[in-house]
Structure 1
C-alpha cells in the first residue's frame, strides 16, 4: 500500500512539473498580449527560471527524480531566450571609442546633481535622457561642467516630464528628426566625430505594456521598422525600451543590433524597478548599436528614478 502511494505521488509530481515546465518554456515565445498580462509575465521569466531550479528541490525530497529533472530542463529552456546574445564582431575593424549613457529620469524627478555626477564619472560622449523636461536638463547641465562637456543637443522636449526625450552630445549634431510610433518623444540625430566620420544616435522610448499593450506592441514594431529602414551603417539606439530579451518583439527588433550588455556577459542584469520593495528583475533599459563593438557595460542608480541608468562603451567600426 505504501509503495503504491509513493508511486502515485511521483506520478502526480511528474505531471505537475511537466505542466509548469511547458508553460515556462512556451512563455518567452508567445507574441500575444492578453491585456498586457503576457508581456508582464515574460518580464519575470529570468526570475521564474531560477525559481524552477529552486522548486526542483521539493520533488527530490519525495524521490520524484523525473519531476525534478523536468523542472531543471524547463528552467534551462525557458531561460535561454532571455539571455544577452553574444555575437561575433563580423569583420569589424575597431575605430573611435564612444561612451553612451541612457537614463529614464522618471517624470524629470531624478536628482540632477547625482545624475550629473554619474554622467561625469562615465566620461560620456553621448547622453540619452527620457522622461525629462527642459528644467531638468538645464539642472543636470549646470553640474560638473557638463554644459561644456556636452555642448550639443537635440530640440527642446515636449512640455511635462513624461514625454520628453533628448540627446546630449560632445559632438556636433545634425540631420535631426523624430521617430514616429510612440506616445513619448523619440528623437534621432547624426553626430560628427572630430575626424569627420559620423554615426547616428536615437533616443527611444516605446510605451510600457501595462495599461496600453497595443501601443507597446505598435511602438516596438514601428521602432523595428525605423531601424531596418535607416541607412546609417553606424547606429546607436539607446533609452528605455520597456522590453527585454524575454519578449519576442524585442528580440526581433534587436536581431540586427548588438547590445552593450554583451560586455557584461550573457546574464541579463536587471535595470527595473529601482527604489521599490522588490529588487530589480528585468532588463528594459538598453544601449544597442550596429557598426560598433561593445567594450564595456555598467549600470547605476540615481534617487528619484525607478530605472537604473546604463553605460555602454563602444568601439565604432572603421568605415
Structure 2
C-alpha cells in the first residue's frame, strides 16, 4: 500500500511541476496556461508531501527545490511603498458581497462595525433595501447597479470631489477623488474562456495606464487574478503599485485563492475580515 501511495504521489508531483512551469512561463501569452499559475498554495502542499515521501536523493532534492520555490512565491514580501510619510488613514472596506448574499442586513452591520470612512463593494443588489441602509450610512459616492456580478459601488461619509463609473469592454470600474486622494474599485471578468480572459487583460492594461498617472491612489478590487499570475504582475508593474495583501492569504473560498487585492504607493495596513455570507472575504484598509 505504501509503495502504491509513493508512486502515485511521485506522478502527481511531476504533473504539478509541469503545471507550475506552464503557468509561469506560458501564462503571459496564453489564457489557458495562465490558469495554472494561480494554484501555488496547492502545489506547495504536493511538493511538501513528495519531498517527504520521495525515494532517492535526486528526487527528494528536486521536490525540495520545487517546495522552496513555491514557499518563496507564497511568503515573498512586497516591495516597499514609495511614500513613507504618515498619510491620513484610508479607513476603507473592500468586499465582494456576492450577488446572492443571504444576509445583507447582517453584512451591513458587520461592515459598519469597522466604522469605515469609505466602502467599496462588488455584486451588491441595490434592489435589496438592506444594502440601501449601508448606502445611507455612507451617502456620498457612485455606483453601477446591475443584476449581475458586475454591480460596483464606492460610498463615503464625506463628499467626493468627483466619482464616476467608467467601462472597459463593457465591464465597470470606479474612479473617485477626495481631497487629493483617488480610489479605484475594480472587478474585471473571470478568465473562464478565451474571450473573457482577453477582456480581463484589456481591462487591467487600460486601467493600469491611468493609475500610473495618479499621485495618491488606492486600488481595491476582485481582480480575478492571484499574485502568482503573470497577468497580475504585469498590472502591478504597469500601474506602478505595491501589493499589500499577503500572497498566501485566501480571499476566495471556492478554491482558496487570493484574488481580492489592495494596492497603493503608500504604507497602508490591510487586515482580512472574518468570512461572512459571501464566497469572498472582505479586506479592511487603514
CA distance in 2 between counterparts of 1:175 and 1:19 reads 50
CA distance in 2 between counterparts of 1:84 and 1:286 reads 16
CA distance in 2 between counterparts of 1:97 and 1:16 reads 46
Unaligned runs of 5+ in 2: 1-8
Q: TM-score, normalised by structure 1?
A: 0.76
Contact 1:154 1:173 in 2 (8 A): no
Question: How many pairs align?
Answer: 274
Q: TM-score, normalised by structure 2?
A: 0.84
CA distance in 2 between counterparts of 1:252 and 1:288 reads 14
Contact 1:182 1:205 in 2 (8 A): no
Contact 1:158 1:185 in 2 (8 A): no
Contact 1:131 1:162 in 2 (8 A): yes
What residue in structure 1 maps to residue 42 of structure 2?
A: 47
Contact 1:55 1:71 in 2 (8 A): yes
What residue in structure 2 maps to residue 154 of structure 1?
A: 142
Contact 2:174 2:186 in 1 (8 A): yes
Contact 1:269 1:282 in 2 (8 A): yes
Contact 1:127 1:169 in 2 (8 A): yes
What is the CA-CA distance between 1:16 and the residue it aligns to? 9.2
Whether 2:280 is the aligned partner of 1:307: answer yes
Unaligned runs of 5+ in 1: 1-12, 193-197, 275-279, 314-319
Residue 261 (structure 2) aligned to one of 272, 286, 296: 286
Q: Structure 1: which 4+ aligned runs deviate by more than 4 Å?
A: 13-20
Larger Rg: 1
Q: Which moved more, 1:65-74 or 1:252-261?
A: 252-261
Q: How does 1:20-35 map to 2 (within 5 A)?
A: 21=17, 23-25=19-21, 27-32=23-28, 34=30
What is the CA-CA distance between 1:14 and the residue it aligns to? 9.5
Q: How does 1:162-311 map to 2 (within 5 A)?
A: 162-192=149-179, 198-211=180-193, 212-228=196-212, 231-255=213-237, 256-261=240-245, 266-274=246-254, 280-290=255-265, 292-303=266-277, 305-311=278-284
Residues 302, 56 of structure 1: alpha-carbon distance in 2 compared, 3 angstrom cutoff: same
Secondary structure at the residue paired with 1:294? coil
